Structure 1
Amino acid sequence: MLVNVTPNLTEEFWNELVKPFEDANAGIDVVVQNPGAEGVAAALPRLLTAGDAPDVVQSLPPTVEMAPELVDLSGYDWATSAPLAEQYSIEGKTYMAGIGVQLQSLWFYNKTAFEEAGITAVPTTVEELTDALGKLADAGWTPVQTGGDWMTSHSLQALGLPTIIAEDPDWFARMSAGEDTFSGTYGPAVETYAEWVAEGYVPKDALGIKYPDAEQAFLSGKSAIYPMGSWFAGTEAKATDPADIGVFRAPAFEGTDGPAMGANIASPYSILKSSEDQDAAAKLVEFLVTDQTAVADQLEVDGNFRDGYEYEMTDLGTELQQIVADTPAEAYTPTGQGYGERTLPTGYSDEINAQTQALIGGTPAADVLSAMDDWFASSLG
């Protein structure tokens, strides 16, 4: 089994995770394969070419290009009923099973800041969120904590996608087919974000802030609202004396029913067609994505969530678990370039990040929208 090895997901963690499965299945030995510094995404093509592919691969969501190398798991209930299975399907087939979700469309907030600003309830619309930012600024707080690097566009996507996808669930397909335009769909979000920048709600020096520094600034109580994925709860749980932090799902603009929720699959598992032990591999993956203890251990170590699978959480983790429980499956949407069949042209994530940085730098919203329209026109040929 080729796995992602990180400071959290150590080889020791993986070996301990699969030991109960080995104990219960005499004759099946699970060898954990560390991809080393190159990572799973780079190691797998090399191993396939060398004829030394693993039986099971973890952490790589299936793609249209990769699907021919993977076993179709559509006949297994544990795969088709796993989190985000339908959203990650390709041509109606299920090629992976995951353990849970990483929520994306979230706004973490400093409860002390809200209290000092006189905000008694979390925003439920974008308009209420904008009003809250004004109150936070008036109370002396830095309203939005963001930064440079990859994280810049996270706030713009959290602002726009809940409305865009709620109004048009086929937005990814329509954009990729050239049937919609970025300016015609993302316009209100970009214009609102530009207003936030003009009002000083998003600091213009944010682009010089690295991700770890932005995270620490919010944790230590130096800012009021932090747009980030649910993995932040894992960081908060390990922090020493963090600020009093809560979370609310990113709202849509007024008049929108059922805001969409950006989410990625947590720890997807796939089986390679080249495997000579597909039955044993299927047994292993079923264990990894359904066993109560195995799933909970995986969720906890990386700060992920799944309704019905609980582990020891902070109050913030409990709030996120409730958001997962309250979110219907059809509300989930990709972010960035997308996944499964809901994808945008290659390079979209980098482009929207660059254009969000331009917004923070003072580029007018109209120019950013025009640039994005030109990028899509060029990408689609």
Structure 2
Amino acid sequence: MFRPGRSAAAAVLAASALALSACGGGSAESSGGSGGGSAQAKTLTLWHYEAANGAMGKAWDQAIKEFEASHPGVKVKFEAKGFEQIQKTAGMVLNSDEAPDVMEYNKGNATAGLLSKQGLLTDLSAEATKRGWDKLLSTSLQTTAKYDERGIMGSGKWYGVPNYGEYVMVYYNKDAFKKQGIEVPTTFDEFTAALDKFAKKGITPIATAGAEYPAQQIFYQLALSKANRAWVDNFELYKGKVDFHGPEFTYAAQTLADWVKKGYIGKDSAGLKAEDMGTSFIAGKFPIMISGSWWYGRFQSEIKDFDWGSFLFPGSQLTPGSSGNIWVVPEKAKNKDLAYDFIDITMKQDIQNTLGNSGGVPVAADPASIQDPKSKELIENFNKLTTSDGLAFYPDWPAPGYYDVLVAGVQELINGTKQPAQVLDEIAQPYNDNLADIGN
């Protein structure tokens, strides 16, 4: 995801941004998808969906400037796209002459894996070796870069390049916690005790959004609190059978429904979007928000009225997270060589340092260059997860269209329109249908 995909959340912040922000004119003179030469091409068309004031938005803006400086006569035409917009239209756009040269895209079987299987993405394996991307990225981060002939992540050819990390955490309003005499919880029981204390004071503790990815990531985090790595591999990588009525998903569905009944999550959150969730936390309306690291940079910039922090979800060894969204080069891109050069610049240490100091999670920064205390905390927690094999991907990744399935299911849990067991049946069917389609 989001990011999602998830995620990615910062991506959703730009969901309504359709405006073109051109850095220069000119037109490509190279032919078709042959790759083109940097001497011939005059324009690199770039799509991404990061907020301008977010960590990735700042880093990619710097990368654009460095690219243009190192490629005289070549201009970058940047088009801001929304996460949801690309999620729904990528297959159609990339199969047309309107495909960009390089694009940020959601990783996972249901997204990048599906497009790779459909022949819409360029095989980047040779470039990954030539440019050393395979050395910069750890094995766990390469999981979302590689897809086999079925479109399943983790092995096969490189179809994307991740250049930042992301994970889901608990954001909290330190002032609100202090006012209620609540310490940062280190166990799940302490966490639920904190939720209960807020609720009994008439405060809905958790800001979330059921109409997009945030609530389904809470659902998945609850399942992960009862899961192990083998369960994650079975669910995400199809390495074994998944029982949707087993202890993991059953606990998640029942607990989420219970949290709504107890007032930990508002019933109105079923109709809210990620932006609604984020702005409500920024405004201090909720003391807790469970979401991704993609919000970190924005919170650093926009939260002015209270002190805030973050911690890993208590009582779980596994957390939704992975490499960040990936750069992909459409098979119909007109200027592939330029696209490879741009991706390479985003992997360079100065860009990665900017990412880290702006509230992002870099994969190739100089640790000594990260000065901001909150950024250090963010990166340290990510390193804890990677060293303990704690990144468990995102719930919508396994099957095409699964994101919408999970949105609908979690909304039903929040609204109370269906019982947890019924919702689990609904999310099991598309997953199992996809398994049958790919021959597992």
Q: Same fold (TM over 0.5)?
A: yes
Normalization by structure 2: what TM-score?
0.69
Alignment match of 1:325 (pick from 383, 404, 408): 383
Map 1:1-381 → 2, pairs under 5 A = 1-5=44-48, 8-9=51-52, 17-24=63-70, 29-35=73-79, 42=89, 46=93, 49-50=96-97, 55-59=101-105, 61=107, 62-66=112-116, 68=119, 69-73=121-125, 74-76=128-130, 78-80=132-134, 81-82=136-137, 84-91=141-148, 92=155, 93-103=157-167, 105-124=168-187, 126-150=188-212, 151-173=214-236, 179-184=241-246, 185-252=248-315, 259-266=317-324, 268-271=326-329, 281-289=339-347, 291-298=348-355, 303-306=359-362, 308-309=365-366, 315-328=373-386, 330-338=389-397, 343=398, 345-362=399-416, 363-377=418-432, 380=435
| Structure 2 residue ranges without an equivalent (≥5) | 1-43, 149-154
Change (3 A) 1:123 1:357: farther
Quick one: structure 1 residues 283 and 346, their matched pair in 2 at CA, closer, same or farther if it must change by over 3 Å? closer
Distance verdict in 2 for CA 1:377–1:21, change over 3 Å: closer
Query: 5+ residue gaps in structure 1?
Result: 254-258
* Segment drifting more, 196-205 vs 292-301: 292-301
Q: Residue 267 of structure 1: CA displacement? A: 5.1
Distance of aligned partners of 1:292 and 1:29 in 2 relative to their CA distance in 1, 3 Å threshold:
farther
SS of residue matched to 1:168: helix
**8 A Cα contact 1:3 1:40, kept in partner:** no
**Structure-1 separation of matches of 2:67 and 2:264:** 51
Q: Matched residues in 2 for 1:94 and 1:29: separation?
A: 30
Amino acid at match of 1:193: L
Residue 89 of structure 1 deviates from its aligned partner by 1.5
For normalisation by structure 1, the TM-score amounts to 0.78
Identity of aligned residues (%): 23
Distance 2:424 2:325 in 1: 35
Contact kept? 1:54, 1:272, Cα under 8 Å: yes
Further displaced range: 242-251 or 64-73: 64-73
What is the CA–CA distance in structure 2 between the aligned matches of 1:351 and 1:270, rounded to whole Å? 25
CA–CA separation in structure 2 for the residues paired with 1:7 and 1:57:
11
- The structure-2 alpha-carbon separation of the partners of 1:227 and 1:65, relative to structure 1 and needing over 3 Å to count, comes to same
Conserved? CA contact 2:105–2:325, under 8 Å: yes
Instruction: Go from structure 1 to structure 2 and tell me whether the alpha carbon gap of 1:232 and 1:320 turns closer, same or farther (over 3 Å shift).
Output: same
Which amino acid in 1 is paired with 2:385? Answer: T
